[in-house]
A and B are shown apart, each in its own frame.
Chain A
């Protein structure tokens, strides 16, 4: 593999006087999971929104390795091209599943929708793929016709993951994917995510404030503070031998990450 899947460089973003992102960059390679950690307000969600082209940075570039056209500057693409990427090559898993799902249509339709957006019209195939994906995220396929409104938080989150992965994206963005869930449900979801990223060779960027989540899911880690990336490295390097004062504080403040 000769080029990173995603390259971010020199990203800056201001909200009025406040600097939300100051000169942040990283390279992500196919199959790598990167955790972005830091406390609320450190800029990690702003970073996620910039690299997923949901928010335009004030400065800096984000380049994505497209399937056919090589590396492309995301913000030089047209809105339509970015939308196409977002529903084919990317997934976005929101903290609150209701933001990533359509709550008033069935589970099956939620999963099938992204396939239809890609031009699939065969009802049987769409339903078959939806049922298959419900099972892969450990849901009962018999609930395919039920609305996510009747689902628990953990089931909704799994449905959101199925909806995102059905188009076989190469990169998935996740914003605190487990934080709204009970601890027992979290462990199950983490396992599932870990298995899926490994088996599908998915690259992922996971924003989390939970270092244990980062330890389990991510190969690499980036520590954010006040809009800056104060430290980057392998996940176990950052957790076991943190260099920056803030990383040391973060790691020493939790029980056994």
Chain B
């Protein structure tokens, strides 16, 4: 489902005298449906950068990144938008939302107006213990943990062939961490190919089928 070959990512800082920052080099990674690969390595090793290259948020400098049938490094904007809509679920570290949209609608969004969207979003919010009084409130004012759960709810509400998870449990309490672990394992059993960064060793052990180590 995911096939990365010889991926390199440098950042060129044109306004700092053209400084080159090499972050990834020679990354090879294959992920099959039903696998969950934990990215492991010290801070700054490039774990987030790899996730962002898979999501086409960052542009690869060299190498090949295939997600499903799409070669991400050469796809057009339109193909990438379709890939994100139909294939990739992404839970980023931080929630970025429109100021006035209520939490429930943020979570419903990936379901694109399907008739049971509201019901499924409510189930998701219940599972993640978001108090009902917050459902109609825009998440901008939520606590870090609540925002993260909204992010997880939105990213996992729909089974996706590929899931990219950037620290989905970082600021959660034990109960919610356990719920997120369950949700991730449900997605994997469904057949998602999952790549994630999980700092919490227990979470990693509970979800990962193998580890990719950065040096």
Contact = CB atoms under 8 A, between A and B. Distances in A.
Contacts of B81: 32, 219-220, 234
A140 interface: no
Interface string A19-42: 000000001010010000000000
A241 B98 contact: no
Contact of A248 (B15, B56, B78): B15
Q: Most B CB atoms within 10 A — which of A187, A241, A248?
A: A241
A241 B99 contact: no
A149 interface: no
B35 to A, nearest CB: 26
A245 B15 contact: yes
Contact of B57 (A194, A215, A241): A241
Contact of B78 (A29, A216, A241): A29
B24 to A, nearest CB: 13
B174 interface: no
Contacts of A216: 98
A188 interface: yes
Given A234-B56, A237-B56, A220 B77 contact: yes
A232 interface: yes
Contacts of B100: 187-188, 191
Given A191-B98, A240-B57, A32 B78 contact: yes
A240 B99 CA distance: 20
Interface in A87-125: none
A53 interface: no
A232 B77 contact: yes
Nearest to A195: B101
B96 to A, nearest CB: 8
Q: What is the interface residue range for chain B against chain A?
A: 10 to 19
Contacts of B14: 244-245, 248-249
A187 B98 CA distance: 8
A185 B178 CA distance: 41
Given A191-B98, A240-B52, A233 B57 contact: no
B13 A248 contact: yes
Interface in B58-111: 58-59, 77-78, 80-81, 96, 98-101
A244 B14 CA distance: 8
Contact of B99 (A29, A32, A191, A220): A191
A66 interface: no
Contact of A234 (B11, B12, B80, B96): B80
A179 interface: no
Interface in B2-25: 11-15
A190 B98 contact: yes
A237 B83 CA distance: 15
B15 to A, nearest CB: 5
Contacts of B11: 241
A188 B52 CA distance: 30
A252 B59 contact: no
A184 B36 CA distance: 43
A236 interface: yes
A183 B138 CA distance: 17
Most A CB within 10 A of own CB, among B52, B96, B98 = B98
Interface in A160-202: 187-188, 190-191, 194
A27 B12 CA distance: 28
Contacts of A32: 78, 81
B92 to A, nearest CB: 10
Interface in A224-251: 232-234, 236-237, 240-241, 243-245, 248-249
B78 A237 contact: no
B99 A233 contact: no
Contacts of B101: 191
Given A194-B98, A234-B80, A234-B81, A249 B57 contact: no
13 contacts: A187-B100, A190-B98, A190-B99, A191-B98, A191-B99, A216-B98, A234-B57, A240-B58, A241-B11, A241-B52, A241-B58, A248-B15, A252-B15
Given A194-B98, A240-B58, 18 more contacts: A27-B78, A32-B78, A187-B99, A187-B100, A190-B98, A191-B99, A191-B100, A215-B96, A232-B77, A233-B77, A234-B80, A234-B81, A240-B52, A243-B12, A245-B14, A248-B13, A248-B15, A249-B14
